A and B are shown apart, each in its own frame.
Chain A
Amino acid sequence: MISGGSDTSYRKQSVVGRRMFILSTAKLVVFGGIIAQLFSLQINQNKKYLTLSDKNRLREWKLPPIRGDFQDFFGNIIAGNLKVYQLHIIPEQVENFNNLIIRVKDILELDQKTFNKIIKKKNSQKPWETLIISENLSWDQFVKINFYLHELSGVKPVLSVARSYPYNENYTHLLGYVAQASQNDLTNNDEIKKKHVPGLRVGKIGLERSLENDLIGMNGVQRYEVNAYGKRINQIDHIEGQKGKSVRLTVDTKIQQKCNELLKDRAGSISVMDIYTGDILAMHSSPSFDPNLFLYGISYENWEAIRNNPKKPLINRSITGLYPPGSTIKPIVALSALENNVISPNFKVNCSGKIEMYGQTYNCWKKKGHGVVNLRDALKVSCDTFFYEMSRRLGVDRLNETAKKFGLGNKVFNNIFNEEKAGLVPSTEWKKNALGRGWVLGETLITGIGQGYIQTTPLQLCLMTAQLANGGFKINPKLIVNKDDLTFEDIKSKMSKNLEKKIEGPDFDNALVDLGMSSSKDDNLYSPLFRNQENVKFVLEAMFASTNEVRGTSFSSRIEDKKYQFAGKTGTSQVKRITEAQRELDLDISQIPYEDRDHALYIAFGPYKNPRYAMSVFIEHGGSGGSTAAPMAKKLFKVVIDRHEEREKYKQKNINFVA
């Protein structure tokens, strides 16, 4: 039986057929829509999605860049890189971190403290960041870890490099040191930010910091294909990194080491400079510390020891230590007086041990007095009374002008050391601005013997001495050897050319600078700092007398051998005002508390016949310059002059050698 009859059946069929037709049309439209979307994704936006897909699957790992070396003048590495074995874990890729880390702890025999530190570090960083378990595995530990490696999945022994300072405490203040980059380093230096990888060491102070961008080098890159869980599947690419630039310094390790040896157990600084090229042969601040301690994070005990050392090893005395120069200023005072025609060399003062002026007594260091002295004698015996009288006539402002010209009161370097101090050479204007009070004439007197407001760094004194010793020409003190550095001969001929020019058209260049028309300081380089070179020569001769003639303040430290013979000037600067009662007591140095003892200073240049080097020796609370500082200079001079030949030979051999 046919249900519903053929009519109903027919109508049913026609309805379903009609509706199926409508539906099929709709289906075609919908499929068309799907194709359109496929077209849009795969053809129109293919590039965009390909990029996204690559972004998904490719991940780059930056490798730590290898830091450039520091070399001394002779090419010896004074800051280099050592191979070290490290242990890394990426916590995200480890199934059971806690089990693993305890196993590692047992194998490496880590103590509880180190272990806790690792756990703390792990909790503070993201799970996909590399956790450095040990920065410096011993060979034994490395072997042991490799032995158990198959059961330590997720642990990676890594061969890495670390900074090393082979001369330990010798170059600490000069080079500075590196330590893990801090947040501050990242925000302040884009280069560091760009190249940062976990555990990257960057310079914290000294040359390591200021030359960071040259030293840092280029990251190597490993490009891996990773899966959705960040696991590396294939290495796609490996780009070798580039080692940072090596920097060759002007320093001589032998001399630097000698300075360190001389200053052993004392607080102080020694600087040695080539008086023509400005090359700094040595610059040491004592006490120092071993910068290698900072590499892996300094231990609390070591840090406390350094921090609590009363002699303050963290301070770089050579450039940040500000001290009254004492009698070492006298050559400049004398020069200034001569230059300004305040006195003639024949001017005489009768020193009775003290002088009454402006209702106050000013004492000479020698209680009995020097008798009648002229300028040469006054420098030789360092007669304070003479200098009181001469300064009075000179006035502080004219002294200020000369002292500044010769390098006092200004930073020696531009931008190498953040912490460098400019020091202070007082003037009437300065006092009015800084202290709001008028200049007192008595202050001129004590400024004339290097006390009172005046403050200089040991390196400034060295530069001052060098610029006197080369005949009074401006030089460029430097630590880094550059390709285009002028040779000694070039500089000498430049100086004599500048001198001729000066004689022909007096002071034209200086006048321009003074008028602010010639702004560049470098234009002034190797040009005369004096009005009349005879004045400079007079001062140098007096310094020779001070060292090499009987009654000279450093006569006992003289060297008679012409090859080593040097000239110098002692300085003893007071830390505390000495009362009349104390002066009467005339205590021996050992009876005075350390902090109240005088600073001992000595400036020198030599060899006297043909000067090439200048130095300044500074001993904090070292007593008198003549007894403490000058003997050190004597010992050092021998080394410096002996090294001179080596240096010249090396220069000849490596005429174009720049690290």
Chain B
Amino acid sequence: MFQETALSGQITFFQKLRSLDYILLFCLIILGLISSLSMYSTEGGEVLYHTKSHVIRFIVFFSMMLIFSFVNLKLWHSIGYIFYFVVLCLLIWASLYGVKASGSQRWVDLYFINLQPSELMKVAIIMCFAKFYHRTQIHLVNSFKNIIIPMVVLIVPILLVVSQPDLGTSILIGLSGLVVLWLSGVNAKYFIYSSLILLISLPFVISFLKPYQKLRILTFFNPDRDPLGAGYQIIQSKIAVGSGGLSGKGFLKGTQSYLDFLPEKHTDFIFTLFSEEHGFIGSVLLLFLYAIIIYRTAKIGASARSFFGKLFCYGFASSIFIYVTVNMSMVLGLLPIVGSPLPIMSYGGSSMLATMIGFSVVMSTKIYQKQIIA
């Protein structure tokens, strides 16, 4: 009976509500709570600007996500391209008239919010590709046309973001796009070839990098090269994490953080702060929480009947994984420092918005999992 109604698209509100993934929602709320407490800790145990606005954003965007979850998956599918183009236009707008801050031009002033379109692009590219491959037949996936079009779709925003300049986000957009391409069946040899090409062209790419970006890469290989300059962030971050030990220094007791040795502790280095205060146990638990979120998202994808929903969920789960991995590896000294937030944990409205939009689609996939999109 249920299948019948599902097929006919007639699901009652009650059924929708029941079919929400509560484990996922619960994990997101826990993550929101942890992130709010961490933000509170960055401000030395006071509720100041960052904590307040982070909590408000989480509540607003989480509620928005819940509401948008009830939007029919068809609708998400139908706006897949439009969403991409709108974000692309915003990116162009940002590079023309954007708000400048700390040397880069990433933000669009929307009066009520300073939007960072590059963050939205991380989701938009997945949605766009999900729609594209939903409509592409499997035997045509590796045709010349179907290789070139996604490449262009991917490279244009990347170039725009790189020129802001924002290396970190552009890499994340690139990786999110590539992971969807991989999932949708693009021949593995393309990935092998292109990585070979990338490796060969790396010296040339590096020569086009800004001096500070080059410095970051050099610093990654040897942080002690310039311990007070470029190496400072990574050294201090490792000190913070390392000094946390098994169980951490305790909530609000992270000396590296409250004495300001830790850079960017609200944003990219929020995990460092968390890890300093809660130690190895806390860090592994947080990683586990992310793993559950990724797993639940992928699981929703696995049970989705529509290819759009499946691909989006797989793609989004994988990009969450990528964000988490890149961010953590970076603060633990496994990767060079590139600006990359930790989803939901890091301070930043656009990132939170993008993540919540992603989860709306995921939830919608869950609610409409039996739905087949033409």
Contact = CB atoms under 8 A, between A and B. Distances in A.
Contacts of A15: 138, 184-185
Nearest to B283: A38
A57 B260 CA distance: 10
B239 interface: yes
Nearest to B310: A16
Interface string B260-273: 11000000000000
B61 interface: no
A33 B185 contact: no
A493 interface: no
17 contacts: A4-B138, A13-B307, A20-B183, A20-B301, A23-B314, A34-B334, A37-B333, A38-B280, A42-B242, A42-B244, A42-B245, A42-B246, A50-B242, A56-B236, A56-B239, A56-B261, A227-B261
A37 B242 contact: no
Contacts of A56: 236, 239, 255-256, 259, 261
A53 B240 contact: yes
Contacts of A33: 334
Interface in A187-242: 225-229, 233
Nearest to B180: A16
B179 interface: yes
Nearest to A39: B280
Given A8-B138, A233-B259, A50 B243 contact: yes
Given A3-B135, A50-B243, 5 more contacts: A34-B287, A38-B241, A43-B246, A49-B243, A52-B239
A31 B280 contact: no
A27 B244 CA distance: 25
A46 B248 CA distance: 10
B284 A48 contact: no
A127 interface: no
Interface string A1-32: 11110001101110111011001100100110
B314 A16 contact: yes
B255 A53 contact: yes
Contacts of B139: 8
Can you list the 6 inter-chain pairs with the closest CB atoms, starting with the nearest? A49-B242, A53-B243, A228-B260, A227-B259, A42-B280, A15-B185
Contacts of B284: 35, 38
Q: Which of A16, A46, A49 has the most CB of B within 10 A?
A: A16
Interface stretch (B17-25, B28-36, B165-173, B324-332): B324-332
B318 interface: yes
Chain A interface mostly: helix
A24 B182 CA distance: 13
Contacts of A518: none
A99 interface: no
B259 A228 contact: yes
A4 B141 CA distance: 12
Contact of A225 (B185, B245, B246, B255): B255
Contacts of A30: 321, 325
Interface in A494-520: none
A50 B256 contact: no
Nearest to B290: A31
Nearest to B258: A227
Interface string B288-311: 000100100010011000010011
A45 B242 contact: yes
Contacts of B259: 56-57, 225-228, 233
Interface of B: 133, 135, 137-139, 179, 182-185, 236, 238-246, 255-256, 258-261, 275, 279-280, 283-284, 287, 291, 294, 298, 301-302, 307, 310-311, 314, 318, 321, 325, 328-329, 332-334, 372, 374
A368 B183 CA distance: 132
Contacts of A305: none
A233 B261 CA distance: 13
A49 B307 contact: no
A332 to B, nearest CB: 70
A229 B261 CA distance: 8
A504 to B, nearest CB: 78
A237 to B, nearest CB: 15
A56 B256 CA distance: 8
A159 interface: no
Given A13-B307, A16-B184, A31-B291, A46 B239 contact: no
A17 B283 CA distance: 30
A41 B138 contact: no
Contacts of A233: 259
Contact of B328 (A8, A16, A34, A228): A34
B185 A53 contact: no
A37 B332 contact: yes
A362 to B, nearest CB: 80
Q: Which of B239, B325, B328, B333 has the most CB of A within 10 A?
A: B239
Contacts of B275: 38, 42
Contacts of B334: 33-34, 37
Contacts of A38: 241, 275, 280, 283-284, 287, 332
B283 A23 contact: no
B298 A20 contact: yes
Contact of A17 (B138, B238, B302): B302
A52 B307 CA distance: 52
Nearest to A28: B291
A61 to B, nearest CB: 17
A19 B283 contact: no
A19 B179 CA distance: 10
Contacts of A50: 242-243, 245
Nearest to B276: A53
Nearest to A51: B243
B325 A34 contact: yes
Given A24-B298, A38-B332, A4 B137 contact: yes
B87 to A, nearest CB: 24
A118 B251 CA distance: 46
Contacts of A27: 294, 318, 321, 325
